[in-house]
Amino acid sequence: MPRKKKTDSSNQSKVLRAPAEIQYADQLEAMGQNDKDPRPPSWKLSPRAVLTYILGGETVKAKIKRKSCEVAITKKFFGDAALVERAIVTLASERALLLVGDPGTAKSWLSEHLTAAISGDSTLTIQGTAGTTEEQTKYSWNIARIIAEGPKPENMIPSPTMIAMQSGAILRFEEITRCVPDVQDSLVSILSDKAIAIPELPEANRINAMPGFNVIATANTRDQGVNELSAALKRRFNYIHIPIVGDHKTEVKIVQQRTEELMQQYAIPVAIEPPVLDLLCRVFREMRDGKTAEGVSVKQTSTVLSTAEAISVAFESALQAHYFGDSHVTSGHIAKNILGSVVKEDLTDLGIFKEYVRIVVKQRAAEGMWKDFHKGATNVLG
Ligand SMILES: Nc1ncnc2c1ncn2[C@@H]1O[C@H](COP(=O)(O)OP(=O)(O)OP(=O)(O)O)[C@@H](O)[C@H]1O
Ligand SMILES: [Mg+2]
């Protein structure tokens, strides 16, 4: 059976988006060097070290590329520490983990960082779609070689599930509720027997999971009901609900940190002043909550105005300022780029945004930032 090739980290550092274990390799290495706590079988870090890696806030001494240095562990997930701790405990247990929440609440982001820290590989991933097949979750065959040589272990194409089982790693299953029931059912036996049967092979017709194997699945609440999980599968998962960031200041911090990371990745030498991001997150929060800071009721859009959408608006504004402006991001740029996030397929959202600009933004337009925002928004809205 072909084994997964090791990731070439020198090449990966040049790609558009390297997996977390490559992007944050120094932090993971530093955590590993300082980790004295017990680890579950096959885990690269102890549960305590995984928690610190996810929540950040510490600086640890380490030897990176034979040089002694201090490595700052950055905050990956902004949210309840107890929630992350429960997620880690679940992954060490015999039950799988299901992260459920609204779109853009960092379910995939958290799952990527958990697998990077636990298994050192976040790429063993199945992207669930309506077209995902049972073969993609278990195994398939190299048809040309099967015709020539018959079913042999070498002619098998293992799925990420099988590779994770053989190496005692964590499998990521994205958007599990988008998969048809047959595919979901195939997971029931994997999660309870911790094995995949291969009836086509006369010998070695069963792949057993090594200790450490587990699954993190994600599901979008907006997709729930597309293919609801069966009762049998529900029982094999511990559900953790990821809420939308509750407080304004934290959301501004997330948008600031992630936008800075994206600008670094895309080599965009632009700085966005915190008050501009504060305004962006305020607009999002007010339209999401249906209430302004002054207590005025506004209509809520049908589109989910998630933190992830706010990050995209901030990053697109930075690109616009860099390529079409003087690299100074203003609230006017934010106004011009916000429309694609607020108004998606539902055109009534356009009316809701217009009303927000007319009632709320206009009232505040005497102040500098809101003035620019109002001008930018009226320009795009026509
Ligand atoms: N609480 C948070 N902590 C850290 N990052 C966050 C948080 N909420 C949102 N983000 C950021 O939002 C972005 C999108 O997150 P992600 O793609 O993981 O969302 P998701 O919940 O998987 O959405 P979907 O359901 O649409 O797949 C990431 O860049 C992530 O850093
Ligand atoms: Mg996702």
Long-range contacts of 372-378 (CB under 8 A, 24+ apart): 372/330, 372/331, 372/332, 372/335, 373/279, 373/283, 373/331, 373/332, 373/334, 373/335, 374/335, 375/332, 375/335, 376/330, 376/331, 376/332, 376/333, 376/334, 376/335, 376/336, 377/335, 377/338, 377/353
Q: What is the pTM of this model?
A: 0.93
254 lines ligand 1 (CB under 6 A): yes
Pairing of strands 156-158, 170-174: unpaired
pLDDT bucket at 73, cuts 50 / 70 / 90: very high
The full DSSP string for 273-339 is -HHHHHHHHHHHHHHHHTB-TTS-B-PPPSS---HHHHHHHHHHHHHHHHHHSSSB--HHHHHHHHH
Please determine, for residue 264, whether its predicted confidence score (pLDDT) is greater than 70. Answer: yes
The residue whose CA has the least distance to atom 10 of ligand 1 is 106
- Please choose, from the candidates 270, 279, 255, the residue with its C-alpha nearest in 3D space to the C-alpha of residue 368: 279
Task: Please state the atom number of ligand 1 nearest to the C-alpha of residue 245.
Answer: 1
107 lines ligand 1 (CB under 6 A): yes
Reported as a single tens digit per residue, the pLDDT across 134-153 is 999 999 999 999 999 999 99
On the 0-12 / 13-18 / 19+ scale of CB atoms within 10 A, 74 is: middle
Where in the chain are the domains? 9-242, 248-381
The residue whose CA has the least distance to atom 18 of ligand 1 is 106
Q: What is the DSSP letter of 249?
A: H
For the chain, the residue count is: 382
What does the pLDDT read at residue 115? Answer: 98
Ligand nearest to the CA of 262: 1
Residue 115 C-alpha to ligand 2 middle, in angstroms?
14
Q: How far apart are CA 9 and CA 12, in angstroms?
A: 5
Q: How far apart are CA 72 and CA 60, in angstroms?
A: 6
Q: How far apart are CA 321 and CA 270, in angstroms?
A: 8
Q: Where are the beta strands (DSSP E) in the chain?
A: 58-64, 67-73, 96-101, 125-127, 139-141, 156-158, 170-174, 195-197, 206-208, 214-220, 237-242
pLDDT bucket at 229, cuts 50 / 70 / 90: confident
Residue 2's φ and ψ, nearest 5 degrees, are -65, 135
Q: How far apart are CA 21 and CA 25, in angstroms?
A: 5
CATH number 3.40.1410.10 is the correct assignment for the domain at 9-242: no
Q: Roughly how many angstroms between the first and final C-alpha of the chain, as a whole number?
A: 61
Mutation to probe ligand 1, out of 75, 76, 105, 250 (largest number of atoms < 8 A from CB) = 105
Reported as a single tens digit per residue, the pLDDT across 247-261 is 999 999 999 999 999
Ligand nearest to the CA of 245: 1
Share of the chain above pLDDT 70, in %: 96
Ion ligand 2 contact residues with beta carbon within 5 A = 108
Reported as a single tens digit per residue, the pLDDT across 193-220 is 999 999 999 887 899 999 999 999 999 9
pLDDT bucket at 225, cuts 50 / 70 / 90: low
Mean pLDDT over 87-99 rounds to: 97
Mean pLDDT over 361-372 rounds to: 91
312 lines ligand 1 (CB under 6 A): no
Q: How far apart are CA 75 and CA 55, in angstroms?
A: 5
Q: How far apart are CA 341 and CA 301, in angstroms?
A: 11
Please determine, for residue 7, whether its predicted confidence score (pLDDT) is greater than 50. Answer: no
